[in-house]
Amino acid sequence: MIHSALRALQLGTGDPLRLAPDAVLRATVLIYSRDPSEHREGRIAVDGLAADHPHGPALRAGLEGDYRGSRAAYDAILDRDAHDFAALWASQVLDYYLGEPQALRDRTAKVLARWSAAEPGYHAVLAMHAFGLEECGEYEAAERVARRALELEPQDQRALHALLHVFEMQGRPRAGLRAIAAAARRGELANHLWWHAALFHLQENRPEAALRVYERSMRLGGLSELIDASSLLWRLHLVGVDVGDWFVPVAQRWEAHAEDGYCSFNDLHAVMAFVGVRRWSSAQRVLAAMERRLTRASGANYDMTRFVGLPASRALIAFGQGQFARADALLRALPPVAHKLGGSHAQRDVLQLTRAAAMSAARRMRFQLAA
Protein backbone atom coordinates (compact mmCIF):
# COMPACT_ATOMS: atom_id res chain seq x y z
CA MET A 1 0.00 0.00 0.00
CA ILE A 2 1.35 3.44 -0.95
CA HIS A 3 1.29 5.93 1.91
CA SER A 4 -0.32 9.32 1.42
CA ALA A 5 2.87 11.40 1.10
CA LEU A 6 4.31 9.15 -1.58
CA ARG A 7 1.01 9.16 -3.42
CA ALA A 8 0.99 12.97 -3.27
CA LEU A 9 4.41 12.98 -4.95
CA GLN A 10 3.27 10.50 -7.57
CA LEU A 11 0.10 12.40 -8.45
CA GLY A 12 1.55 15.90 -8.16
CA THR A 13 -1.21 16.86 -5.72
CA GLY A 14 -1.47 17.71 -2.05
CA ASP A 15 1.32 18.62 0.34
CA PRO A 16 3.83 15.78 0.72
CA LEU A 17 5.59 17.64 3.52
CA ARG A 18 2.46 17.72 5.63
CA LEU A 19 1.75 14.06 4.88
CA ALA A 20 5.28 12.66 5.04
CA PRO A 21 5.42 9.85 7.63
CA ASP A 22 9.12 9.14 7.49
CA ALA A 23 12.28 11.19 7.87
CA VAL A 24 13.81 10.21 4.53
CA LEU A 25 10.93 11.36 2.37
CA ARG A 26 10.57 14.53 4.41
CA ALA A 27 14.29 15.31 4.12
CA THR A 28 14.18 14.66 0.37
CA VAL A 29 11.30 17.06 -0.25
CA LEU A 30 12.87 19.74 1.95
CA ILE A 31 16.41 19.61 0.59
CA TYR A 32 15.39 19.98 -3.05
CA SER A 33 12.92 22.78 -2.35
CA ARG A 34 13.54 26.13 -4.01
CA ASP A 35 12.80 27.76 -0.67
CA PRO A 36 16.02 28.30 1.33
CA SER A 37 14.15 28.09 4.64
CA GLU A 38 12.90 24.62 3.74
CA HIS A 39 16.38 23.67 2.57
CA ARG A 40 17.74 24.66 5.99
CA GLU A 41 15.03 22.60 7.66
CA GLY A 42 16.15 19.71 5.50
CA ARG A 43 19.60 19.85 7.10
CA ILE A 44 18.01 19.13 10.47
CA ALA A 45 16.09 16.23 8.93
CA VAL A 46 19.25 14.74 7.43
CA ASP A 47 21.11 15.06 10.72
CA GLY A 48 18.46 12.82 12.22
CA LEU A 49 19.07 9.98 9.76
CA ALA A 50 21.22 6.98 10.52
CA ALA A 51 24.81 7.52 9.36
CA ASP A 52 24.66 4.52 7.04
CA HIS A 53 21.27 5.25 5.46
CA PRO A 54 21.38 4.49 1.69
CA HIS A 55 20.05 7.97 0.85
CA GLY A 56 22.57 9.71 3.11
CA PRO A 57 25.30 10.44 0.51
CA ALA A 58 22.76 11.85 -1.98
CA LEU A 59 21.06 14.00 0.62
CA ARG A 60 24.31 15.37 2.01
CA ALA A 61 25.55 16.24 -1.49
CA GLY A 62 22.23 18.00 -2.12
CA LEU A 63 22.67 20.01 1.05
CA GLU A 64 25.96 21.36 -0.28
CA GLY A 65 24.48 22.28 -3.66
CA ASP A 66 26.38 19.48 -5.40
CA TYR A 67 23.48 18.49 -7.60
CA ARG A 68 25.54 16.32 -9.93
CA GLY A 69 27.05 14.40 -7.06
CA SER A 70 23.64 13.99 -5.49
CA ARG A 71 22.15 12.77 -8.73
CA ALA A 72 24.95 10.24 -9.22
CA ALA A 73 24.25 8.85 -5.76
CA TYR A 74 20.56 8.50 -6.59
CA ASP A 75 21.38 6.75 -9.85
CA ALA A 76 23.43 4.24 -7.86
CA ILE A 77 20.42 3.67 -5.60
CA LEU A 78 18.17 3.14 -8.63
CA ASP A 79 20.64 0.66 -10.11
CA ARG A 80 20.12 -1.41 -6.96
CA ASP A 81 16.40 -0.77 -6.61
CA ALA A 82 14.48 0.68 -9.54
CA HIS A 83 11.37 0.90 -7.34
CA ASP A 84 12.83 3.47 -4.94
CA PHE A 85 10.43 6.24 -5.94
CA ALA A 86 11.95 8.84 -3.61
CA ALA A 87 15.30 8.38 -5.37
CA LEU A 88 13.64 8.60 -8.78
CA TRP A 89 11.65 11.69 -7.84
CA ALA A 90 14.71 13.47 -6.43
CA SER A 91 16.91 12.66 -9.41
CA GLN A 92 14.23 13.95 -11.79
CA VAL A 93 13.99 17.18 -9.80
CA LEU A 94 17.76 17.58 -10.11
CA ASP A 95 17.62 17.02 -13.87
CA TYR A 96 14.98 19.73 -14.06
CA TYR A 97 17.03 22.16 -11.98
CA LEU A 98 20.13 21.46 -14.07
CA GLY A 99 18.25 21.84 -17.36
CA GLU A 100 19.19 18.37 -18.67
CA PRO A 101 16.15 16.86 -20.41
CA GLN A 102 18.05 13.91 -21.88
CA ALA A 103 18.69 12.69 -18.35
CA LEU A 104 14.98 13.10 -17.55
CA ARG A 105 14.11 10.90 -20.51
CA ASP A 106 16.85 8.28 -20.29
CA ARG A 107 16.60 7.54 -16.58
CA THR A 108 12.86 6.90 -16.67
CA ALA A 109 13.25 4.72 -19.78
CA LYS A 110 15.77 2.62 -17.87
CA VAL A 111 13.57 2.42 -14.78
CA LEU A 112 10.40 1.59 -16.73
CA ALA A 113 12.09 -1.50 -18.15
CA ARG A 114 12.24 -2.85 -14.58
CA TRP A 115 8.66 -2.01 -13.57
CA SER A 116 5.45 -3.86 -14.34
CA ALA A 117 2.36 -2.01 -15.50
CA ALA A 118 0.43 -3.85 -12.79
CA GLU A 119 2.52 -2.33 -9.98
CA PRO A 120 1.23 0.61 -7.92
CA GLY A 121 2.86 3.85 -9.02
CA TYR A 122 3.65 2.71 -12.57
CA HIS A 123 1.54 5.58 -13.91
CA ALA A 124 3.82 8.08 -12.11
CA VAL A 125 6.95 6.71 -13.78
CA LEU A 126 5.16 6.94 -17.12
CA ALA A 127 4.26 10.57 -16.36
CA MET A 128 7.89 11.40 -15.58
CA HIS A 129 9.00 9.69 -18.78
CA ALA A 130 6.41 11.62 -20.79
CA PHE A 131 7.77 14.91 -19.47
CA GLY A 132 11.33 13.89 -20.36
CA LEU A 133 10.25 12.94 -23.87
CA GLU A 134 8.47 16.26 -24.30
CA GLU A 135 11.45 18.28 -23.10
CA CYS A 136 13.59 16.39 -25.64
CA GLY A 137 11.20 17.37 -28.44
CA GLU A 138 9.70 13.88 -28.90
CA TYR A 139 6.15 15.17 -28.81
CA GLU A 140 4.22 12.27 -30.34
CA ALA A 141 5.86 9.75 -28.02
CA ALA A 142 5.34 12.08 -25.06
CA GLU A 143 1.63 12.41 -25.80
CA ARG A 144 1.23 8.67 -26.17
CA VAL A 145 2.97 7.94 -22.86
CA ALA A 146 1.15 10.71 -20.97
CA ARG A 147 -2.22 9.46 -22.19
CA ARG A 148 -1.32 5.92 -21.10
CA ALA A 149 -0.48 7.22 -17.62
CA LEU A 150 -3.83 9.01 -17.45
CA GLU A 151 -5.63 5.85 -18.51
CA LEU A 152 -4.06 4.06 -15.55
CA GLU A 153 -4.64 6.96 -13.14
CA PRO A 154 -6.93 9.80 -14.27
CA GLN A 155 -5.94 11.86 -11.20
CA ASP A 156 -2.26 11.95 -12.21
CA GLN A 157 -1.59 15.68 -12.58
CA ARG A 158 2.04 15.06 -13.53
CA ALA A 159 0.84 13.14 -16.59
CA LEU A 160 -1.62 15.91 -17.40
CA HIS A 161 1.20 18.43 -17.00
CA ALA A 162 3.36 16.57 -19.52
CA LEU A 163 0.43 16.47 -21.95
CA LEU A 164 -0.12 20.22 -21.59
CA HIS A 165 3.53 20.85 -22.42
CA VAL A 166 3.11 18.82 -25.61
CA PHE A 167 0.06 20.88 -26.59
CA GLU A 168 1.90 24.13 -25.91
CA MET A 169 4.99 23.19 -27.88
CA GLN A 170 2.84 22.01 -30.80
CA GLY A 171 0.65 25.13 -30.75
CA ARG A 172 -2.57 23.27 -29.79
CA PRO A 173 -4.16 25.62 -27.25
CA ARG A 174 -7.70 24.36 -27.76
CA ALA A 175 -6.64 20.81 -26.91
CA GLY A 176 -4.86 22.09 -23.82
CA LEU A 177 -7.85 24.07 -22.59
CA ARG A 178 -10.17 21.10 -23.12
CA ALA A 179 -7.84 18.85 -21.13
CA ILE A 180 -7.67 21.35 -18.26
CA ALA A 181 -11.44 21.84 -18.21
CA ALA A 182 -12.03 18.08 -18.09
CA ALA A 183 -9.51 17.65 -15.24
CA ALA A 184 -10.99 20.57 -13.29
CA ARG A 185 -14.38 18.88 -13.36
CA ARG A 186 -12.80 15.86 -11.63
CA GLY A 187 -11.21 17.84 -8.80
CA GLU A 188 -8.95 20.69 -7.74
CA LEU A 189 -6.02 21.48 -10.01
CA ALA A 190 -2.49 22.51 -9.07
CA ASN A 191 -1.70 26.20 -9.48
CA HIS A 192 0.83 25.47 -12.22
CA LEU A 193 -1.79 23.81 -14.40
CA TRP A 194 -3.87 27.00 -14.30
CA TRP A 195 -0.71 28.84 -15.36
CA HIS A 196 -0.68 26.61 -18.43
CA ALA A 197 -4.32 27.45 -19.05
CA ALA A 198 -3.45 31.14 -19.08
CA LEU A 199 -0.59 30.48 -21.53
CA PHE A 200 -2.99 28.70 -23.87
CA HIS A 201 -5.20 31.80 -23.87
CA LEU A 202 -2.13 33.88 -24.73
CA GLN A 203 -1.38 31.51 -27.62
CA GLU A 204 -4.87 32.32 -28.88
CA ASN A 205 -4.14 36.04 -28.54
CA ARG A 206 -6.68 36.39 -25.75
CA PRO A 207 -4.74 38.16 -22.98
CA GLU A 208 -7.93 39.24 -21.21
CA ALA A 209 -8.89 35.57 -20.79
CA ALA A 210 -5.39 34.81 -19.46
CA LEU A 211 -5.79 37.57 -16.88
CA ARG A 212 -9.15 36.15 -15.82
CA VAL A 213 -7.50 32.78 -15.18
CA TYR A 214 -4.94 34.54 -13.02
CA GLU A 215 -7.61 36.42 -11.11
CA ARG A 216 -9.97 33.50 -10.53
CA SER A 217 -7.80 30.42 -10.21
CA MET A 218 -4.14 31.15 -9.44
CA ARG A 219 -2.92 31.51 -5.88
CA LEU A 220 -0.06 33.31 -4.18
CA GLY A 221 1.45 30.94 -1.67
CA GLY A 222 4.86 29.36 -1.84
CA LEU A 223 7.74 30.20 -4.13
CA SER A 224 6.54 27.99 -6.97
CA GLU A 225 3.28 29.95 -7.02
CA LEU A 226 5.13 33.27 -6.94
CA ILE A 227 7.21 32.09 -9.90
CA ASP A 228 4.05 31.27 -11.86
CA ALA A 229 2.51 34.63 -11.00
CA SER A 230 5.59 36.64 -11.99
CA SER A 231 6.00 34.72 -15.21
CA LEU A 232 2.40 35.11 -16.32
CA LEU A 233 2.11 38.79 -15.39
CA TRP A 234 5.39 39.53 -17.16
CA ARG A 235 4.11 37.85 -20.33
CA LEU A 236 0.94 39.93 -20.13
CA HIS A 237 3.07 43.04 -19.66
CA LEU A 238 5.04 42.15 -22.79
CA VAL A 239 1.86 42.09 -24.90
CA GLY A 240 0.73 45.46 -23.60
CA VAL A 241 -1.65 44.58 -20.76
CA ASP A 242 -1.54 46.95 -17.80
CA VAL A 243 -0.81 44.57 -14.92
CA GLY A 244 0.93 46.98 -12.57
CA ASP A 245 -1.73 46.64 -9.88
CA TRP A 246 -1.64 42.85 -10.12
CA PHE A 247 2.14 42.89 -9.70
CA VAL A 248 1.94 44.78 -6.37
CA PRO A 249 1.04 41.85 -4.06
CA VAL A 250 3.42 39.57 -5.95
CA ALA A 251 6.30 42.01 -5.48
CA GLN A 252 5.42 42.39 -1.80
CA ARG A 253 5.73 38.65 -1.29
CA TRP A 254 9.04 38.54 -3.17
CA GLU A 255 10.54 41.14 -0.81
CA ALA A 256 11.29 38.47 1.78
CA HIS A 257 13.37 36.61 -0.82
CA ALA A 258 15.14 39.53 -2.50
CA GLU A 259 18.47 38.72 -0.84
CA ASP A 260 18.26 34.93 -0.82
CA GLY A 261 20.82 34.41 -3.58
CA TYR A 262 19.83 30.76 -3.31
CA CYS A 263 18.28 29.86 -6.66
CA SER A 264 18.87 31.90 -9.80
CA PHE A 265 15.54 30.77 -11.24
CA ASN A 266 13.81 32.34 -8.23
CA ASP A 267 15.89 35.49 -8.49
CA LEU A 268 14.94 36.06 -12.11
CA HIS A 269 11.23 35.88 -11.31
CA ALA A 270 11.62 38.17 -8.31
CA VAL A 271 13.19 40.75 -10.63
CA MET A 272 10.21 40.47 -12.99
CA ALA A 273 7.87 41.43 -10.17
CA PHE A 274 10.06 44.29 -8.94
CA VAL A 275 10.42 45.69 -12.45
CA GLY A 276 6.67 45.29 -12.92
CA VAL A 277 6.05 47.75 -10.06
CA ARG A 278 9.17 49.83 -10.83
CA ARG A 279 10.64 48.97 -7.46
CA TRP A 280 14.20 49.51 -8.64
CA SER A 281 15.86 49.39 -5.22
CA SER A 282 14.42 45.91 -4.61
CA ALA A 283 15.58 44.73 -8.04
CA GLN A 284 19.06 46.01 -7.21
CA ARG A 285 18.98 44.08 -3.92
CA VAL A 286 18.45 40.90 -5.94
CA LEU A 287 21.39 41.75 -8.22
CA ALA A 288 23.61 42.46 -5.22
CA ALA A 289 22.69 39.11 -3.67
CA MET A 290 23.51 37.34 -6.93
CA GLU A 291 26.85 39.12 -7.13
CA ARG A 292 27.63 38.03 -3.57
CA ARG A 293 26.75 34.48 -4.56
CA LEU A 294 29.41 34.62 -7.26
CA THR A 295 32.10 35.12 -4.64
CA ARG A 296 31.56 31.44 -3.69
CA ALA A 297 32.56 29.40 -6.71
CA SER A 298 30.80 26.20 -5.72
CA GLY A 299 27.42 24.55 -6.09
CA ALA A 300 25.10 24.32 -9.07
CA ASN A 301 23.66 27.79 -8.48
CA TYR A 302 27.07 29.37 -9.11
CA ASP A 303 27.03 28.54 -12.82
CA MET A 304 23.29 29.22 -13.11
CA THR A 305 23.84 32.69 -11.70
CA ARG A 306 27.02 33.48 -13.61
CA PHE A 307 25.91 32.31 -17.05
CA VAL A 308 22.22 33.15 -17.03
CA GLY A 309 20.61 34.51 -13.89
CA LEU A 310 22.62 37.68 -13.41
CA PRO A 311 22.84 38.87 -17.06
CA ALA A 312 19.18 37.97 -17.69
CA SER A 313 18.09 39.88 -14.58
CA ARG A 314 20.09 42.89 -15.72
CA ALA A 315 18.31 42.62 -19.06
CA LEU A 316 14.89 42.68 -17.39
CA ILE A 317 15.81 45.80 -15.46
CA ALA A 318 17.09 47.46 -18.63
CA PHE A 319 13.85 46.54 -20.40
CA GLY A 320 11.78 48.01 -17.59
CA GLN A 321 13.79 51.25 -17.72
CA GLY A 322 13.28 51.63 -21.46
CA GLN A 323 16.84 50.62 -22.38
CA PHE A 324 15.61 48.22 -25.03
CA ALA A 325 18.80 47.95 -27.06
CA ARG A 326 20.74 47.06 -23.91
CA ALA A 327 18.14 44.48 -22.92
CA ASP A 328 18.34 42.94 -26.38
CA ALA A 329 22.15 42.86 -26.27
CA LEU A 330 22.24 41.21 -22.84
CA LEU A 331 19.74 38.52 -23.81
CA ARG A 332 21.37 37.96 -27.20
CA ALA A 333 24.69 37.37 -25.44
CA LEU A 334 23.40 34.58 -23.21
CA PRO A 335 25.55 31.51 -23.85
CA PRO A 336 24.34 28.28 -25.49
CA VAL A 337 24.10 26.79 -22.00
CA ALA A 338 21.37 29.24 -21.02
CA HIS A 339 19.03 26.29 -20.53
CA LYS A 340 21.12 25.46 -17.46
CA LEU A 341 19.02 28.02 -15.64
CA GLY A 342 16.64 25.11 -15.07
CA GLY A 343 12.90 24.92 -15.57
CA SER A 344 11.02 23.75 -18.65
CA HIS A 345 11.13 25.03 -22.21
CA ALA A 346 7.81 26.77 -21.56
CA GLN A 347 9.17 28.57 -18.50
CA ARG A 348 12.48 29.61 -20.07
CA ASP A 349 10.64 30.90 -23.14
CA VAL A 350 9.97 34.10 -21.22
CA LEU A 351 13.52 35.22 -21.99
CA GLN A 352 13.00 34.85 -25.74
CA LEU A 353 9.69 36.66 -25.50
CA THR A 354 11.38 39.50 -23.63
CA ARG A 355 14.12 39.74 -26.21
CA ALA A 356 11.58 39.85 -29.05
CA ALA A 357 9.71 42.65 -27.27
CA ALA A 358 12.99 44.51 -26.67
CA MET A 359 13.99 44.25 -30.33
CA SER A 360 10.60 45.50 -31.44
CA ALA A 361 10.67 48.44 -29.01
CA ALA A 362 14.24 49.34 -30.00
CA ARG A 363 13.23 49.41 -33.69
CA ARG A 364 10.30 51.69 -32.92
CA MET A 365 12.56 54.06 -31.02
CA ARG A 366 15.04 54.17 -33.91
CA PHE A 367 12.22 54.85 -36.35
CA GLN A 368 10.85 57.68 -34.20
CA LEU A 369 14.29 59.26 -33.89
CA ALA A 370 14.79 59.08 -37.66
CA ALA A 371 11.36 60.52 -38.46
Q: For the chain, which residues make up each domain, given as ranges? A: 222-371
The CA distances from residue 179 to 143, 167, 174, in Å, are 12, 10, 9
Which segments within 74-187 are labelled E, that is strand?
none
Q: Which of 65, 74, 145, 77 is nearest to 109 (CA)?
A: 145
pLDDT at 339: 67
Residues 176-200: what's their mean pLDDT?
95
Cα distance between residue 292 and residue 141, in whole Å? 43
CB 343 within 8 A of CB 308: no
16 pLDDT higher than 80: no
pLDDT digits (tens, 9 = 90+) for 256-312: 999 999 999 999 999 999 999 999 999 999 999 999 999 998 888 898 999 999 999
179 pLDDT higher than 50: yes
